[in-house]
Amino acid sequence: MGRMKKGLIKRIGAAERKYVEELLSSDFSNSSNPGLLGRFEKAFAEKIGTKYAIAHVNGTTTLHSALFAAGVRAGDEVITTPLTMSSPALAILQADAKPVFADVIEDTFQIDPASIERRITPRTKAIMPIALYGLSPEMDPIMVLAKKHNLIVIEDAAETFLSKYKGRMVGSIGHLSSFSLQATKHITAGEGGVVCTNDPGMADLVRKFSVLGYSTVSATVGKITKDDIQNPNFERHVQLGYNYRMPEVCAAIALGQLEHADELVQRRIDSANLFLEAIADCEWLKPQVTPLNCTNSYWALAVRLIHPSVDWTVFRKKFMEFGGDGIYAAWKLSYEEPMFQEKTRNFAGKEKILGAMHEGGLPTYEIGLCPLAERVQKQILAFKTNYWDWSRAEKQAEILRKTIKYFS
């Protein structure tokens, strides 16, 4: 991808409307269903470069399904980063497992493989690296650790689409990967998620787990047939499963999004580059470092504010006073959230399972557990990149320049 023609681009275009109309014309009849879910899954797998893609209702259910397919069960441990939205940690708890948090690399904000290694115990079952803000973690050393310790790697690529790590598509490197199609993401169906894998056994497990444990669904079959359901002797459920399947109408929109995904992703990259040019000479705004062996799809442009005397909230307030759209903070670290802290801890009933499975009772998460993540989280300014109107992106970059000049 290279810089595209500037101007106004449509996030939702003719393709999305065409596929939605195709679905509506079927009256949602099983006998005339156009099979948009299966068509979307096939197209998504081809785009990412994996053998299988299993669509879900959102990008948190995908993590739950992937954890099940990875063999994560009650009492196991899964290592992830605390510097992200808390969905990964919540999904680990939903799997009756213990979230274990590794620290980050300061300049990329990504999970540190050296910290991962220090957190591995006999209970560790999986590693869940997060491709934060559109950039891949250091996947090669993570995969080496996984092989050495017989662990499963689940890539959380919710904030990443069409990014690459050493020429490989993010989401095609780990044993499993999870994507989000929530409204703010690179491509969207309003809501939705996808699990990708090259392993047919894991794909089968993901499918069954996400479709009520039905006996006849599989890696490539997402629905039970009319012949099955009309048979009084049909044995439906072979395992516990959830109703996580993506609705057909979301699949229709997502299929259309794939047809101009390159354009949508490129606009975010171009917007990020516009902002990077604006801060190029500013010594106290440090952008997330993208290593030379990676491409960043910039779900957002994340920048560290390290000015000795300018407060984060003061900078944001002045940016907005000048007409800026606003600046997002990094999420509070997962283990700093009230639900993880000992005085207010609330795991919605998982306390009994985790307490019984771990010697010494429930896990504790002390402040200071991941010191680099704790420092970086307070510094991050995350600028929007989803500017479909290029003139608006240019205006925002000028406002950023004005704000930098004000504090310089």
Q: Is 51 exposed, middle or buried (0-12, 13-18, 19+ CB in 10 A)?
A: middle
Q: Which burial class, exposed, middle or buried, applies to 254 when counting CB atoms under 10 A from its CB (0-12, 13-18, 19+)?
A: buried
Residues 6+ apart with CB under 8 A from 57: 191, 192, 193, 243, 244, 245, 246, 247, 250
Task: List the CATH code of the domain at 262-330+372-407.
Answer: 3.90.1150.10
- Phi, psi for 26 (deg, rounded to 5): -85, -5
CATH of domain 14-260: 3.40.640.10
Per-residue pLDDT of the chain (408 residues; tens, 9 = 90+): 445 558 899 999 999 999 999 999 999 887 778 899 999 999 999 999 999 999 999 999 999 999 999 999 998 999 999 999 999 999 999 999 999 999 999 999 999 999 999 999 999 999 999 999 999 999 999 999 999 999 999 999 999 999 999 999 999 999 999 999 999 999 999 999 999 999 999 999 999 999 999 999 999 999 888 888 899 999 999 999 999 999 999 999 999 999 999 999 999 999 999 999 999 999 999 999 999 999 999 999 999 999 999 999 999 999 999 999 999 999 999 999 998 887 777 888 787 777 776 666 677 899 999 999 999 999 999 999 999 999 999 999 999 999 999 999
Closest C-alpha to 123, from 67, 74, 77: 77
Q: Which residues are catalytic?
A: 185
pTM: 0.96
Q: What are the extents of the domains in the chain?
A: 14-260, 262-330+372-407
Burial of 153 (0-12, 13-18, 19+ CB in 10 A): buried
| DSSP notation for 222-242 | -S--HHHHT-TT---BSS---
Say if CB 43 and CB 296 are below 8 A apart. no
Environment class of 154 (CB within 10 Å of its CB; exposed 0-12, middle 13-18, buried 19+): buried
